[in-house]
Structure 1
Amino acid sequence: MKTKVLFFIFSILAFFETNAQCAMCRAVLENEEGQGAAKGINDGIIYLMSIPYILVFMVGFAIYWKYFRKKKNKT
């Protein structure tokens, strides 16, 4: 159980430091000075990418919670 929790925490922390730009976006935005737009687009991509994962996690947690709540009430 500890390894699963540690893996989950590490995954969340690693998620915040990733670069999610495609090759074409990166090539166009690297030519810009200041890199302000590149950072903004990268943050937007990560934001849009995280929403489906959060929704899937919430559905999975709801199913998990419902299953073990029923099991606990039966005993």
Structure 2
Amino acid sequence: MKKVAVIFLFMILITVSSSNNVNAQCAMCTVSAEQSVKNGNTQGKGLNSGILYLLAIPYLLISGMGVLWYIKYRKRTVNYAENV
């Protein structure tokens, strides 16, 4: 078990140390965001809200699956304890 943890931490260290800074927006999104800020429009806020919405959905789905798994696991252990 200790060996697996060391390998996992080593892989994370290599991944973090080898990453580069990148700009992940497409050209149209970048121009739209820059122009909206300069002109005082609220498109940039909408763009940021959309990005946060897209970011939150996977975390919510994984959290929901984790809660369901925990509830199912807890019921199984309670039933096992009652039968023993």
TM tier, smaller? 0.5 to 0.7
Which protein shows a greater Rg?
Answer: 2
RCO comparison, higher one (Cα < 8 Å, 6+): 1
1:59 deviates by: 0.8
TM-score of the superposed pair, with normalisation by structure 1 = 0.58
> Number of residue pairs matched?
55
TM-score of the superposed pair, with normalisation by structure 2 = 0.53
Unaligned runs of 5+ in 1: 1-20
Retained in 2: the 8 A contact 1:29–1:35?
no
Retained in 1: the 8 A contact 2:33–2:47?
no
Match 2:69 to one of 57, 63, 67: 63
Structural RMSD (CA): 2.1
Q: Distance in 1 between matches of 2:68 and 2:76?
A: 12
What residue number does 1:51 align with?
Answer: 57
4+ runs of 1 displaced by more than 6 Å? none
Secondary structure class of the residue paired with 1:30: helix
